[in-house]
Structure 1
Amino acid sequence: MGGHHKKNLRAEKAKVKLKGAKLPKGLNVTKTDFKVRKIEIREQLKESQYTETGQRQLNLKETLSRLKHHSVKFRTDALRNVRDSLKSGNADHLIGHLNELFQGIAAGALDMERSARQESFKTLDVLLEALEPQAVSPFFHVITTYLRCAMTHVLPAIQEDSLLMLDVLLQRVPPSLLAERSASTIIGNFIDMISRARHDNERSNRTLTLNLGQGKQTTIKWRTKVLIRLQQILGTLVRTKSSKPAVARVAFFDEMRPQYYNVLCPVKQDNRDLYTILNEPKLSAEGARLQTYVEQLLPLLQDNWLEVRPQEQQPLLSQDAAASLHVVISLMSLLWTLIAQHETENNTRELSDWLRKNYAQKFLLNFLAKDGSRFPYQQIPLAAKKSAKDKGPLDGGELCLPQNLGIVQLACKFFPDPNKKQGQLFGHLVKFMQQRMERLSSLPPEQQLSVVASLRSLLLENATALLKIVPEPLTSLLSASIEAYVGQRFTTREGVTTRVLSLLCEIVERSDLYARFGGEQRFAPFLSYLPQLLLKPTVSEGTLRAMATLCRQLNAAFMSSLIQMAPEVLSHLIKMQVTGDSEAEDKFENQKRVLNLFYYARECDKEGQLERGLKQLEEQAGNEGTAGYLKAVMAYN
């Protein structure tokens, strides 16, 4: 080893040494005044996804991996990365990875950190908004599975935040998809969030639980928050059932070929199940599910109300009690609507009879008292310093009008055939409605819709029985309704006026109610005003049908008013359009429906108004067919 070292030293000494003059002092420095260009390899930038600020953006594979990372920061950054990518319009490249994406995002609902849960809900909202319902449907069970796990989690904070996830689904998912897939299961989880079973083998025997939150909200506020979401779920079920299109047979007339029409009414298809046909007390699967909802919900709703119900020493409701009453009444109304839809489809009344038998008296005692002394409810006036945000949308104002109107409708559903002993109660309800009609103009459209629904329950659905026990108050309420309609005190927004017109027309079409309410003398203001509707740009199908019924009944008041306005009606006929079931019909066919009214009314033409209108019609260009048809109607015997 020593010889090798000496050999290297000899080699170093043998090298040629360059000797020269040394540089002057001050010149032996490195020059830094040269220019350089930054080398950029764009393929590398594209691969690593660096931004100008230096913050790294993850690619899709890394994002899906970090959604399951143990670090909260990594999971949060991955959720934000997905959200930013979707907002920039890059949702197409996610289609092939939706299963992993939904698994990772929905799993955030069970995260221990509140910030991660909120980020997952925001990302889920953006993702559902960017995708079509057809793309979400195969993976919807993944979302609902995590939702149910969050709703039944042992940690109260996760249960509380699960309502935020449900809000995202209610806003972004089509109602039909939400109703068909998991509505029944979610409803059961809602019930578990506010109650617990007293015995494992009795589902209907449940008791309310105490405050779930961590001291920041009261028990009543928590239950109201849960029940509001439950109300939205039941509302989704109602809208899904009511949106099913009706199947109708349409026959088209062709004069060039023979037509065949049934003389006898065809036999209706019996869609009832075997148990109903054999009169056995067994509900269908859907009916049994509805009965389960009622068995579990109604006792809880009534217990929830009993906890906040005002006492004799303080008859006014607090703000929380008013909000609780609002959602309780809304849920009970939705249950009744679901039952009515089910019974209409299956041609049965078994479920509604069972509901009245088991819960009618409890409803009466808890919400009205036997004589109605607890009704109507009012709220404690709020302090002037409180803003509109503090009042909330569920209060209904100091008069609690939505709550009171809902109680009126429920009373009519629970007691469709009231007896004389309940005369004082229903007289109290009718008097309340009479007072609301006096202040009708000051009500917003949403509350006017509730007023019309309550009027329908009293004046049409239960009128036959109520006319036996409270005839005078009910007749006065009808007169007030007619006066308000003719005086145009009902708003035209939200279809309020149309619903009032439909209600009055249905009452007139029923000859028994028409006579018992006072007949032509009582309805004279409405019947005289009715032909003026033919001068509006649009006329509903129900209005024309009601007019035809009045003419067939030879109603003198209506026909006299129609003849007096014949010239104006005929000149306006070419501009009129019919809305409703007959929208698809030919315009001339709808015009003939109006002209046919004059066949019955021509006997009331003492002053030649119909002839004058016919001349005006002949003078207008393009009305030859209409004028010819009217001549045929007038000359027909």
Structure 2
Amino acid sequence: MGGHHKKNLRAEKAKVKLKGAKLPKGLNVTKTDFKVRKIEIREQLKESSYTESGQRQLNLKETLSRLKHHSVKFRTDALRNVRDSLKSGNADHLIGHLNELFQGIAAGALDIERSARQESFKTLDVLLEALQPHAVAPFFHVITTYLRCAMTHVQPAIQEDSLLMLDVLLQRVPPALLAEKSASTIIGNFIDMISRARHDNERSNRTLTLNLGQGKQTTVKWRTKVLIRLQQILGTLASTKSSKPAIARVVHFEIMRPQYYNVLRTLPQDNRDIHAVLNETKLSAKGTQLQTYVEQLLPLLQDNWLEVRPQEQQPLLSQEAAASLHVVISLMILLWTLIGQHETENNISELSDWLRINYAQKFMLNFLGKDGSRFPYQQIHLPGKKVGKDKGPEDGGELCLPQNLGIVQLTCKFFPNPVEKQAKMFAHLATYMQQSLERLNSLLPEQQLSVVASLHSLLLENAAFLLNIVADPLINLLNASIEAYVGQRFTTREGVATRVLNLLCEIVERSDLYTRFGGEQRFAPFLSYLPQLLLKPTVGEGTLRAMATLCRQLNGVFMSALIQNASEVTNHLNKLQVTGDTEGGDKFEIQKRVLHLFYYAKELDKDGKLEQGAKQLAEQADNKRIADYLKAVMGYN
């Protein structure tokens, strides 16, 4: 060993040492001014359109395998590859591999690394946007399975990020698909995210969880974020159930054309269960599910509000309390909407009756206080404070308008037949609504829609009982509503003015309410304005029906105003369209419905305005048919 070492040392010393002057400055530089040519194989590029940034190209098979790789970098790079390929328009190549693709992308919701979860949600968003709903439907259970696992995960960070995944589904998946497939299951997971069962029993009472461990956000903010998504899910369920009623098909006989009529029908079958046959009350499966939601949610919503509700000596709400009240009230309204839809479909009322018996008094004490002393709510004014960028519901501003209007609607739902001891509370609500009408010009269309919904509850749904206990405040509210509509203070955007018109027309059609509110004397400004609606491009089906009711009632105020506008109305008939149930119907049938109004009003035509209108129509070739019909109406006794 020692001899070899000495030999190596001698050989090392015998090497020639290069000693010389260093190169001058500027010459020891690598030359880079040479040209290169990129080698491209066309067929290979066509097969592998999934590229890894700065590295070699990956085909679809390798990309799918990397979605399941143990390395976070490999998984995130594969997700980016899929997203970039979809953005470049290569979604058609994925149709045969959607199962593996959804499995790999949705599994990212359970990834321990936050960056991988965010990449998963971004890729899922792009994928759902690129595919048609019918292509997603067979694999939708894969997405929702991972979503439910994320919502119930032991890691608080994964639970929090599961809301981002749900945001993607709410934005990209059609509401009908989301409601049909998994909305009911997701609602149960939402409840588990903010509460736990006291006795490990699903139907037993639940208690709110105090802290999820998010760190930066408070428990109230976390619950508000969860409840916002729950509100969106319930809104999805409500929107899919509220389908438009079928339009009646009107067939006009023509002697020269064969026509077919549905004369025969199958024998009706009795599909009722044994409980319906024996006249026993039994909730259906959907009704039982709804009752479960109500049993679990309403106590949690009230407890959530009681945690942030201010004391009586400090009636103003903080920003967190206002946001919490906003989402709590919205959820309760949605629950009532779902219950109303269910009971209308099945012609029952057990669920709403059960809800009023168990929760009406609690609602009044928790949200209104004794005799409505806590109502209305206002928010603390914080001058100079910037609004945060966190996603959340609008707190309604300092006046908390959405919250207060929602409480008005819920009070009418919980107390449909108010009694004398609740007179002070409902008088307080009617006075608040009148004050809201005075601020109409400063309200957004969405806020005006809430105003109209609250007016509908007070002036129509509960009016028959309210007129017995708070007649004067209710009549003053009606006067303010008529004045606001005639003065055109309701915006036409989002159909606000049309809804107010429909509300007033429904009151007029109810002869009992019409008389008790004051009849012609009370509605004179509205009745005089009503014929001018026939001079607009469109008129609603409900409006036209209300006009016919007024004529059959021989309403002098309306018929006098109709005669005053007779010539203008008849000349405008050719341009008039009716929207609503008969939308798209025969044009001449619509014109005849308007002309029928003059049959009742012709006795008040002292100045011959109808004859003048018929003469003008006869002079026009296109309107000769209308003119002949108007003459027949005028001459018929």
State TM-score, norm by structure 1: 0.91
**Partner Cα separation in structure 1 for residue 399 and residue 109 of structure 2:** 40
Q: Secondary structure at the match of 2:203?
A: strand
Match of 2:422 in 1: 422
Shift of 1:595: 0.6
Output one character per residue of 1:305-363: Cα deviation in whole Å (capped at 9) or x when no partner: 00001102211000000000000000000000000000000000111101101110110
Q: Which residue of 2 aligns with 1:203?
A: 203
Indicate the percent of aligned positions where both proteins have the same amino acid: 82
**Distance (whole Å) between structure 2 residues aligned to residue 39 and residue 495 of structure 1:** 62
Aligned AA (1:333): I
Kindly provide the CA deviation profile for residues 376-404 of structure 1, in whole angstroms up to 9, marking residues without a partner as x.
Answer: 00000122242485896421010000000
Q: Deviations over 1:97-125 (max 9, x none)?
A: 00000000000000000000000000000
1:566 matched to which residue of 2?
A: 566
- Alpha-carbon deviation of 1:369? 1.6
The CA deviation string for residues 452-497 of structure 1, in whole angstroms up to 9 with x for no partner, is 0000000000000000000011011001100000000100110000
Q: Does 1:530 align with 2:530?
A: yes
Report what 1:128 is aligned to.
128
Kindly provide the CA deviation profile for residues 170-218 of structure 1, in whole angstroms up to 9, marking residues without a partner as x. Answer: 0000111100110110000000000000002352410000121421000
2:41 corresponds in structure 1 to 42
Distance 1:568 1:250, change over 3 A: closer
**Distance across 1 between alignment mates of 2:73 and 2:212:** 28
> Which sits farther off after the overlay, 119-128 or 40-49?
40-49
Tell me the secondary structure at the aligned position of residue 623 of structure 1.
helix
Change (3 A) 1:505 1:201: same
CA contact (8 A) 2:326 2:393 kept: no
TM-superposition CA deviations, 1:499-533 (whole Å, max 9, x none): 00000000000000000000000000000000000
**C-alpha separation between the residues in 2 aligned to 1:349 and 1:404?**
27
* TM superposition shift of 1:145: 0.2
Q: Matches of 1:578 and 1:629 in 2, distance apart?
A: 19
1:37 is displaced (CA, Å) by: 7.3
Amino acid at match of 1:456: H
Does the CA-based 8 Å contact 2:128-2:173 persist in structure 1?
yes
Aligned-pair CA distance for 1:277: 4.5
When structure 1 is superposed on structure 2, of 165-174 and 538-547 the one drifting more is 538-547
What residue in structure 2 maps to residue 10 of structure 1?
none
Cα 1:271/1:37, change in 2 over 3 Å: same
| In 2: Cα distance, 1:361 partner to 1:620 partner | 66
Compared with structure 1, are the counterparts of its residues 273 and 235 closer, same or farther at alpha carbon in structure 2 (3 Å cutoff)? farther
| Cα displacement (A) at 1:278 | 2.8
Partner of 1:80: 80
Question: Kindly tell me: are residues 126 and 39 of structure 1, through their superposed partners in 2, closer, same or farther at Cα, counting changes over 3 Å?
Answer: closer
Q: Distance in 1 between matches of 2:564 and 2:318?
A: 56
Shift of 1:248: 4.2
Q: Give the structure 2 partner of residue 591 of structure 1.
A: 591
After the TM superposition, which parts of structure 1 deviate over 6 Å for at least 4 consecutive aligned residues?
A: 47-53, 257-263, 266-271
- 2:383 matches 1:383: yes
The aligned residue for residue 542 of structure 2 is 542
**Using a 3 Å threshold, how does the CA distance of structure 1 residues 255 and 350 change in structure 2: closer, same or farther?**
farther
Following superposition, the deviation at residue 251 of structure 1 comes to 3.9
CA distance in 2, matches of 1:607, 1:49: 81
Partner Cα distance (1:634, 1:61) in 2: 81
Further displaced range: 374-383 or 116-125: 374-383
After TM superposition, the structure 1 = structure 2 runs for residues 260-279 of structure 1, keeping only pairs within 5 Å, are 273-279=273-279
Distance 1:109 1:606, change over 3 A: same
Checking the alignment, whether the CA contact within 8 Å between 2:52 and 2:58 is kept in structure 1 is no
Deviation per residue, 1:414-471 (Å, 9 max, x gap): 0000000000110110111111111111111111000000000000000000000000
* 1:217 corresponding residue in structure 2: 217
Asked if 1:297 corresponds to 2:293, the answer is no
Structure 2 CA distance for partners of 1:566 and 1:504, relative to 1, 3 Å = same
Trace 1:249-260 onto structure 2 (pairs within 5 A).
250-255=250-255
Assess, with a 3 A threshold, how the Cα gap between structure 1 residues 251 and 36 changes in structure 2: closer, same or farther.
closer
CA 393–290 in structure 1, closer or farther in 2 if over 3 Å, else same: closer
CA distance in 1, matches of 2:48, 2:92: 21
Alignment-derived partner of residue 7 in structure 1: none
Equivalent AA in structure 1 for residue 146 of structure 2: Y
Equivalent in the alignment of 2:329: 329
1:266-289 CA-partner distances (Å, limit 9, x unpaired): 999877654244332320001000
Corresponding residue number in structure 1 for 2:407: 407
Shift of 1:252: 3.8
> How far off is 1:261 after superposition?
10
Task: Assess if the C-alpha contact under 8 Å between 1:271 and 1:346 holds in 2.
Answer: no
Superposition deviation, residue 246 in structure 1 = 2.9
Q: Secondary structure at the match of 1:203?
A: coil
Change (3 A) 1:554 1:174: same
Secondary structure of the corresponding residue to residue 316 of structure 2? coil
Inter-partner Cα distance in structure 2 for 1:278 and 1:401? 48
Residue 622 of structure 1 aligns to a residue whose secondary structure is helix
Secondary structure at 2:379's aligned position in 1? Answer: coil
Give the secondary-structure state (helix, strand or coil) at the position aligned to 2:197: strand
Distance 1:450 1:37 in 2: 69
Alpha-carbon distance in structure 1 between the residues aligned to 2:622 and 2:44: 73
Alignment-derived partner of residue 21 in structure 1: none
Question: 1:42 is aligned with what amino acid?
Answer: I
Mean alpha-carbon deviation: is it higher for 323-332 or for 202-211?
Answer: 202-211
Structure 1 residues 70 and 51: CA distance shift in structure 2, 3 A: closer
Larger radius of gyration: 1
Structure-1 separation of matches of 2:54 and 2:310: 63
**RMSD of Structure 2 on Structure 1 (CA):** 2.6
Quick check: 2:402–2:447 contact (8 Å CA) kept in 1?
A: yes
Return the alpha-carbon distance in structure 1 between the equivalents of residues 528 and 585 of structure 2. Answer: 28
Separation (CA, whole Å) in 2 of partners of 1:566 and 1:193: 64
**2: distance between equivalents of 1:496 and 1:351?**
31
Structure 2 distance, partners of 1:245, 1:271, is 23
Contact 2:231 2:331 (8 Å CA) reproduced: yes
Is the Cα–Cα contact under 8 Å of residues 273 and 284 in structure 1 kept in the other structure?
no
Query: In the TM superposition, what are the counterparts of 1:60-79 in structure 2 within 5 Å?
Result: 60-79=60-79
- Counting only pairs closer than 5 Å after superposition, residues 212-611 of structure 1 correspond to structure 2 as 212-243=212-243, 245-246=245-246, 248=248, 250-255=250-255, 273-387=273-387, 389=389, 393-611=393-611
What CA distance in whole angstroms lies between the structure 1 residues aligned with 2:268 and 2:497? 35
SS across alignment from 1:310: coil
Q: Secondary structure at the match of 1:581?
A: coil
Distance verdict in 2 for CA 1:39–1:308, change over 3 Å: closer
> Contact 2:49–2:57 (CA<8 Å) still a contact in 1?
yes
Amino acid at match of 1:109: A
Number of residue pairs matched by the alignment: 604
- What stretches of structure 1 of length at least 5 have no aligned partner? 1-31
Q: Is the 8 A contact 2:50 2:81 kept in 1?
A: no
1:118-160 Cα distance to aligned partner (Å, 9 max, x none): 0000000000000000110000000000000000000000000
Q: Distance in 1 between matches of 2:469 and 2:269?
A: 39
